[in-house]
Amino acid sequence: MTIRRRLVKAAKGPMVSALDESAITVLDRPVQHTNFASLQGSHCLLVTYRRDGTPVPTPVWYALDGERLYVWTEIEAYKAKRIRNNERALIAPCGPTGKPLGDPIAARGRVLESEEDRARAATMISGSWNPIQKAFRAVSHTLTDVHYLEFTPAEQ
């Protein structure tokens, strides 16, 4: 394991251990088939699915662009791998530790591959994040490459 990879894992440790145990309860709420207008604040709870169908809730920072929601994640994170295998996702308002604050919204996700799409996502993220988020991003980008994920509301 490279030094960069060890640093990324060490930085993620406190975030993983701070995940609110109630994050999984978002699955008990009624799924909405609507836009992302109910999202406020800097965090949303992203639920992706393993190959066996097991849901994995993760609080993430996001940026909105009309009907699109963008997330970035480090290159080794499993979120992108899960989205590649299964585009189905849920997006819900949450606090910083993943505590659900509202009903989940059905969504479809994809990993952005083209430079044009990635640049658009990066621009939207940079334009909507606060200084602390931008500082975290600047440090993270020196340690690891990132994937940009795009989510749109799913049809019912």
In a domain, 9, yes or no: no
Tokens at 68, concatenated? 């699109």
In a domain, 5, yes or no: no
In a domain, 97, yes or no: yes
In a domain, 110, yes or no: yes
Domain that holds residue 39: 20-153
In a domain, 13, yes or no: no
Question: pLDDT digit string (tens) for 134-144?
Answer: 665 565 555 55
CA–CA separation, 28 and 113 (whole Å):
33
Kindly indicate the confidence band of residue 10, based on its pLDDT and cuts at 50, 70 and 90: very low
* CATH number of the CATH domain containing 118: 2.30.110.10
Instruction: Name the domain count of the chain.
Output: 1
Q: Which residues, in sequence order, are CB contacts of 153 under 8 Å at separation 6+?
A: 33, 34, 35, 36, 67, 105, 106, 107, 108
Question: pLDDT digit string (tens) for 44-70?
Answer: 999 999 999 999 999 998 999 999 999
